[in-house]
Structure 1
Amino acid sequence: MGKKFKLLAALSLVLMLMAQLLTGCGSTGTKDAATADKKQIKVGFAQKTLENEFQKALADGVVKAGEAKGWKVTVLDAKNSIENEQKNMETFVAQKYDLIFINVVDTKAATESINAAVKAGIPVIGIDSHVDEAANVVTGVSAPDLANGRVVGLFAAKQYDKSEMISAALLSGNKGNPGGQARRKGLFAGIIEGRTGCTEKEAWALADKFEQELTDNGKAVNNEAKFAVVTQGWGNWTVNGGLPAMEDILVANSKINCVLGENDSMLIGAKQAIDNRSLTGIKIFAAADAMKGALELIKGGSAYQATGLNNPKLVGAKGIDIAEKVLVEHVDPKSFGKTVTTDPVCVTAENVDKFYDPNAIF
């Protein structure tokens, strides 16, 4: 009995030690997994400004899409200052954020800050702005400026009789802005394609020629399309800029029947100027943004005919989706290409209810 008892005791001790060892291993693994789960992804957004509704809505879209995944998202406002933007980027790098979005104040000035972040091992995604080719970003996320302009231009072409000359005034944001150039080029291509029946490829080539003529002479014409831009004004992207710019245009160009523009805000101002003079027969088409105020004008059956969809919520969500692929799924950052865009949409009276949100910020 004594020997059997000792044998059983020894066996029990071995089993206890094995159980403790297994339990210990299990506890360590669980603790490590819990620690890994608690590591929260930190994403920074170097936003050029929060002074207008679009940029506020864009920041809100990034924050909400990121927080829905359990991430920490921090927005720093550069207040349209290159110096502030540089400091904000340096802050994100110093605090070792996992990824940075940037909506640049200046296309070229941001390049050094972007490349410094990438050198520190932090991927950078451009959002709603065009970065310089030397900037080593994962990609640029935005609405499709060219394609949106084109689909709005195709719609505009159908709103005039084929025998009628489209005499348009153009409102642009600021000189040299690549986004604005793409939007108006899209409008030109769509109108020329829609009026002449040429191919899309031919329309882009003709739009390039039209744009160059506009740059050289301040006006341009395509006789086959019966389409002319008789003057170009600069509205600095705002309602308060579009209003006086349109007032100046109307002094010398009272016989226009079309207003084209690179965003809604300027054209809302332009519409006010037209209404103040009680002018009729002038149709209005914006390459972007489908902001709430413009959609209300379209819903109301006004002269405001169409706008391109540039939804900041969708752009923000698209950016977060790409960030997740890079940070979580470990997709090669070089695989995304130069740009990633949302789908092109022309918003008109026929489909406006699908996009109108009375509670939208923008």
Structure 2
Amino acid sequence: MKKFSILVLAVFMSIVLAACSMESGGGSSSESDSSSKDDEVVIGFSVSTLNNPFFVSLSDAAEEKAKSEEAKITVVDAQDDASKQASDIEDLIQQKVDLIMINPVDSSAIASAVESANSAGIPVITVDRSSEGGEVVSHIASDNKAGGEMAGEYLLSQVDKGAKIAVLEGVAGSSAAIDRGEGFEKAVEGQVDIVASLTANFDRSEGLTVMENILQANPDVKAVFAQNDEMALGALEAIQAEGKDIVVVGFDATDDAVAKVDAGEMAATVAQQPGLIGETAVKTAVAYLNGDEPQDFIPVDLELVTKK
């Protein structure tokens, strides 16, 4: 009887030990899977518009860089609508992404969305255009004021002093439009007569229409500075339709604009590097989430593109 009791106890202990071993092994696997999932960096990226080649290049480069950094990135298109962008960012906050990169439609309007992310404990990086409010980890962009000055100085070399010129402005309230405009005006102040400075919202078709109106009111315009290439290409179409020879300087160095420069139809464009901006933004985001402290502003180099 005693031997039987000992045997029963041995069998019972074997079963308990086996169960504990299985539970321990299963638990480790589950914890490993969970840890792997928790360690994945998830970035939300709100882009002002994907109806512009510049931002398509920027977004594509960001997605490629995210792959190489083994991070997940969700890109949302605000379609140049500040209200939609605010709603998109709220969705990203609800998804509890690790960090949000924002390319604002409107630098002033985006402030409340940045503050919402701050309140949720989600860090923010601004890309190409800045935010006028909220806390931002870093801002990655070209020096738009310097680019505006570069465009202005080149334009002065192409026209006589006192010449009548026009400016096509970008989206009102965007930091890119503000900074490029300030830089340009600083360079040309007192040297030319700006007879028109009107917004065309960084859009090619609007650039065409606005330039048509400018030419009707000011047929003796000698040059135009467009704050991006899409507007410059629209303006060029209006100019060519009128058979006029007017100096056109753009900004961004998109493929279409560079081709027009090489063909001698556009005078110049200021080259940004959208791909490098996108890559740098993702690299900075991942580094920050891994404990690094980035610079407040990370500039990306510019250059003037003229006919080769």
- Give the corresponding residue for 2:182: 185
Which one-letter code corresponds to 2:261 in the other structure?
I
Deviation, structure 1 residue 32 = 6.6
Deviation, structure 1 residue 37 = 9.5
Deviation, structure 1 residue 176 = 4.1
Report 1:38-57 matches (<5 A).
39-57=39-57
SS at match of 2:45: strand
Structure 2 length normalisation: TM-score?
A: 0.81
Residue 347, structure 1, aligned to residue 305, structure 2 = yes
- Give the corresponding residue for 2:110: 110
Instruction: Work out which of the residue numbers 207, 231, 252 in structure 2 matches 1:266.
Output: 231
- Give the corresponding residue for 1:196: none
Q: Is the 8 A contact 1:233 1:246 kept in 2?
A: no
- Give the corresponding residue for 2:248: 284
Q: Is the 8 A contact 2:118 2:134 kept in 1?
A: no
Residue 230, structure 1, aligned to residue 227, structure 2 = no
Residue 331, structure 1, aligned to residue 282, structure 2 = no
Q: Count residues in correspondence.
A: 280
Report 1:157-168 matches (<5 A).
157-160=156-159, 164-168=161-165
Report 1:1-362 matches (<5 A).
39-132=39-132, 134-160=133-159, 164-190=161-187, 192=188, 210=189, 222=190, 225=191, 227-280=192-245, 282-286=246-250, 288-302=251-265, 304-328=266-290, 330-332=291-293, 336-337=295-296, 339-350=297-308
Q: Is the 8 A contact 1:151 1:344 kept in 2?
A: no
Unaligned runs of 5+ in 1: 1-27, 193-209, 211-221, 351-362
Structure 2 distance, partners of 1:184, 1:261, is: 10
Q: Is the 8 A contact 1:243 1:273 kept in 2?
A: yes
Q: 1:70 to 1:158 in 2, by over 3 A?
A: same
Which one-letter code corresponds to 2:197 in the other structure?
Q
Q: Is the 8 A contact 2:271 2:303 kept in 1?
A: yes
Structure 1 distance, partners of 2:70, 2:298, is: 24
Which one-letter code corresponds to 2:249 in the other structure?
F
Unaligned runs of 5+ in 2: 1-27
Structure 2 distance, partners of 1:94, 1:308, is: 38
SS at match of 2:165: strand
Structure 2 distance, partners of 1:158, 1:48, is: 34
Deviation, structure 1 residue 34 = 11
Which one-letter code corresponds to 2:148 in the other structure?
G
SS at match of 1:129: coil
Structure 1 distance, partners of 2:165, 2:152, is: 12
Structure 1 distance, partners of 2:171, 2:32, is: 54
Q: 1:273-303: CA deviations, max 9, x gaps?
A: 11111112x21112x111111100011122x
Structure 2 distance, partners of 1:102, 1:177, is: 13
Structure 2 distance, partners of 1:96, 1:53, is: 29
Which one-letter code corresponds to 1:63 in the other structure?
E
Structure 2 distance, partners of 1:91, 1:323, is: 19
Q: 1:50-103: CA deviations, max 9, x gaps?
A: 233333222212111111211111112233444433333233233332211012
- Give the corresponding residue for 1:360: none
Q: 1:62 to 1:93 in 2, by over 3 A?
A: same
SS at match of 2:267: strand
Structure 1 length normalisation: TM-score?
A: 0.70
